[in-house]
Amino acid sequence: MNCCSTETRIADLPERDEPPVACCYECNGQSRPVSRRTVLLMLKPHLLELAMKGTFSFCAVPACPVVYFEERGIQRFTVNDLRIEVGVKAGNDPISLCYCFGFDQAHIRDEISRTGSTTVPERIAALIREGLCACDTRNPAGVCCLGEVNKAVKRIQKEAKT
């Protein structure tokens, strides 16, 4: 299933700042709904049974250890409960941005330092247009990565100018 729009140009893609639906129990921060399927695909095997029921949200606050929490319950899963590192919660490189195709901040930083710009967002968009993304299941946030990729590009370009 292609979770990202194939009809949209990269410049038209939003930066995924959706309004919070539920607040994280740990930090009271912004969250977004995420499918149980995404949660199950991210969890370590011994925790799968704990996520078989309920509705979950993804906590996007970088400093908070909670990644997923049950919206109307007590179950929560932290960065230590997942099989992969969550880019938005990572402090050291490589900081993942695109879970479908493996791009991280270091790829963008390297390309900008060598050429003054980056083609990573356009390359990802081309792959999305081919119907090859699986952000709904490969991205821990359960959404298209291009918003986070574009934010990282802006931040890294700004850092390179200073």
Confidence band, pLDDT 50/70/90 cuts, at residue 92: confident
Class of domain 16-83: mainly beta
Looking at residue 161, its pLDDT comes to 87
Looking at residue 48, its pLDDT comes to 98
DSSP lists the bridge partners of residue 32 as: 58
Looking at residue 4, its pLDDT comes to 64
Does the structural domain 87-162 have CATH classification 1.10.10?
A: yes
- In 3D, which of 152, 132, 148, 147 has the Cα closest to residue 3? 132
Average model confidence (pLDDT) across the chain: 88
pLDDT digits (tens, 9 = 90+) for 6-28: 443 334 333 444 444 689 989 99
Looking at residue 15, its pLDDT comes to 44
The Cα 95–Cα 56 span in angstroms is 24
Query: For the chain, what are the domain ranges?
Result: 16-83, 87-162
Dihedral sign of CA atoms 59, 63, 64, 65 in order: positive
Check if the beta carbon of residue 67 is closer than 8 Å to that of residue 58.
yes
Share of the chain above pLDDT 90, in %: 78
Stated pTM of the model: 0.82
Can you tell me the mean pLDDT for 81-96? 92
- The DSSP element (H or E) to which 34 belongs, if any, is strand 31-34
